[in-house]
Structure 1
Amino acid sequence: MATEAAADDAADAPEAYDALLDRVRRWNAVGSAAGVLGWDQQVMMPEGGTPARSKQLSTLSSIRHDMVTDEETGDLLDELADADLTDERAAVVREIRRDYERADAVPVELVEEISETGTEALQAWEEAKAEDDFDAFAPYLEKHVELKREYAEHIDPDRDPYEVLFEDYEPCLSMERAESILEELRETLVPMIDAIRESDADLAVDTFEGTFPEAEQEALARETLELVGYDFDRGRLDVSSHPFTAGNQFDCRVTTRFDESDPLGAIGSTIHEFGHAQYNLGLPQEQFGTPLGESRDLSVHESQSRLWENHVGRSRAFWELFLPTFQEHFPETDDATVEDAYQAFNQVHEDNLIRVEADELTYHLHIVVRFEIERDLVRGDLAIEDVPEAWNDKYEEYLGIRPDNDAEGCLQDIHWSHGNFGYFPTYSLGSVMAAQLFAAAESEIDDLDDQIAAGEFDDLREWLGENVHQHGSRYETNELVKRATGEDFSADAFTDYVEEKYGELYGI
Structure 2
Amino acid sequence: MATNEADADAAYEQLIERNRRLSNLGYASMYLNWDQRVTMPEGGAPGRAQQLSALSATTHELLVDDEVGEWLDTLEGADLTEEQAANVREIRNEYERAAHVPAALNEEITQTASENQQIWQKAKAEDDFASFAPRLETMRDLQRQKAEHIDPEKSPYTVLYEGSHQYIPIETMTDIFETLRSEIPPLVEEIRTEGRELADPWEGEYPDDDQEALSEAALDFLGYERDRGRLDTAPHPFMAGNQFDARVTTRFKPTDPMDALTATIHEFGHATYQLGLRQDEYGTPLGASRMSIHESQSRFWENHIGRTKPFWEQFLPTFKRHIDGHDDLTVDEVYEAANRIYPDNRIRVEADELTYHMHIILRCEIGRAFVEGDIEAAEIPQVWNDKMEEYLGVRPETDSEGCLQDIHWTGGFAAFHGYTLGSVVAAQLNDAIRDDLDVDALVREEDFEPIREWMTEHVHRHGQRYTTPELIEVATGQELSAQPFVDYVRAKFEDLYDL
What CA distance in whole angstroms lies between the structure 2 residues aligned with 1:311 and 1:333? 24
Q: Structure 1 248/21 Cα, relative in aligned 2: closer, same or farther at 3 Å?
A: same
What CA distance in whole angstroms lies between the structure 2 residues aligned with 1:327 and 1:491? 37
2:3 maps to what in 1?
A: none
Residue 121 of structure 1 and its aligned partner are, at CA, apart by: 0.6
1:5 maps to what in 2?
A: none
User: Deviation above 4 Å: which 4+ runs of structure 1?
Assistant: none
Residue 310 (structure 2) aligned to one of 308, 317, 332? 317
1:397 maps to what in 2?
A: 390
Does residue 1:435 correspond to 2:430, yes or no?
no
What CA distance in whole angstroms lies between the structure 2 residues aligned with 1:200 and 1:457? 33
Residue 111 (structure 1) aligned to one of 106, 109, 112? 106
What CA distance in whole angstroms lies between the structure 1 residues aligned with 2:363 and 2:128? 19
What CA distance in whole angstroms lies between the structure 1 residues aligned with 2:286 and 2:99? 22
What CA distance in whole angstroms lies between the structure 2 residues aligned with 1:345 and 1:181? 26
Residue 72 (structure 2) aligned to one of 72, 77, 82? 77
Q: Deviations over 1:20-56 (max 9, x none)?
A: 0011101111111111111100011110111111111
Does residue 1:472 correspond to 2:466, yes or no?
no
1:43 maps to what in 2?
A: 38
- Matched-pair contact (CA < 8 Å) for 2:211–2:323: no
Q: Give 3-state SS (helix, strand or coil) of 1:120's partner.
A: helix
Q: Deviations over 1:301-323 (max 9, x none)?
A: 00000000010011111111111
Q: Give 3-state SS (helix, strand or coil) of 1:255's partner.
A: strand
What CA distance in whole angstroms lies between the structure 1 residues aligned with 2:203 and 2:487? 31
What CA distance in whole angstroms lies between the structure 2 residues aligned with 1:62 and 1:440? 43
2:213 maps to what in 1?
A: 219
Q: Give 3-state SS (helix, strand or coil) of 1:332's partner.
A: coil
Does residue 1:499 correspond to 2:482, yes or no?
no
Contiguous gaps of at least 5 residues in structure 2: 1-5
Q: Give 3-state SS (helix, strand or coil) of 1:168's partner.
A: helix
Residue 386 (structure 1) aligned to one of 366, 379, 384? 379
What CA distance in whole angstroms lies between the structure 2 residues aligned with 1:187 and 1:456? 38
What CA distance in whole angstroms lies between the structure 2 residues aligned with 1:287 and 1:333? 47
What CA distance in whole angstroms lies between the structure 2 residues aligned with 1:337 and 1:329? 16
Does residue 1:488 correspond to 2:483, yes or no?
no
1:3 maps to what in 2?
A: none
1:337 maps to what in 2?
A: 330
Residue 149 (structure 2) aligned to one of 136, 146, 154? 154
What CA distance in whole angstroms lies between the structure 1 residues aligned with 2:375 and 2:314? 48
2:238 maps to what in 1?
A: 244
Q: How does 1:32-431 map to 2 (within 5 A)?
A: 32-204=27-199, 206-296=200-290, 298-419=291-412, 421-431=413-423
Residue 232 of structure 1 and its aligned partner are, at CA, apart by: 1.2
What CA distance in whole angstroms lies between the structure 2 residues aligned with 1:318 and 1:410? 34
Residue 210 of structure 1 and its aligned partner are, at CA, apart by: 2.5
What CA distance in whole angstroms lies between the structure 2 residues aligned with 1:44 and 1:33? 16
Could you tell me which amino acid in structure 1 is paired with residue 408 of structure 2?
H
Residue 13 of structure 1 and its aligned partner are, at CA, apart by: 7.5
1:448 maps to what in 2?
A: 439
Q: Give 3-state SS (helix, strand or coil) of 2:164's partner.
A: coil
Residue 229 of structure 1 and its aligned partner are, at CA, apart by: 1.1
Contiguous gaps of at least 5 residues in structure 1: 1-10
- Matched-pair contact (CA < 8 Å) for 2:188–2:343: no
Residue 148 of structure 1 and its aligned partner are, at CA, apart by: 0.4
What CA distance in whole angstroms lies between the structure 1 residues aligned with 2:12 and 2:493? 51
Q: Give 3-state SS (helix, strand or coil) of 2:325's partner.
A: helix
Instruction: State the TM-score, normalizing by the size of structure 2.
Output: 0.98
Q: Give 3-state SS (helix, strand or coil) of 2:163's partner.
A: coil
Q: Give 3-state SS (helix, strand or coil) of 2:441's partner.
A: helix
What CA distance in whole angstroms lies between the structure 2 residues aligned with 1:330 and 1:405? 31
CA RMSD of aligned residues (A): 1.1
Q: Structure 1 65/502 Cα, relative in aligned 2: closer, same or farther at 3 Å?
A: same
Residue 200 of structure 1 and its aligned partner are, at CA, apart by: 4.0
Q: Give 3-state SS (helix, strand or coil) of 1:14's partner.
A: helix
Aligned pair count?
Answer: 494
Q: Give 3-state SS (helix, strand or coil) of 1:173's partner.
A: coil
What CA distance in whole angstroms lies between the structure 2 residues aligned with 1:274 and 1:146? 35
What CA distance in whole angstroms lies between the structure 1 residues aligned with 2:479 and 2:252? 38
- Matched-pair contact (CA < 8 Å) for 2:311–2:443: yes
Q: Deviations over 1:203-224 (max 9, x none)?
A: 11x2122211100100110110
Report sequence identity in percent: 54
Q: Give 3-state SS (helix, strand or coil) of 1:253's partner.
A: strand
Instruction: State the TM-score, normalizing by the size of structure 1.
Output: 0.96
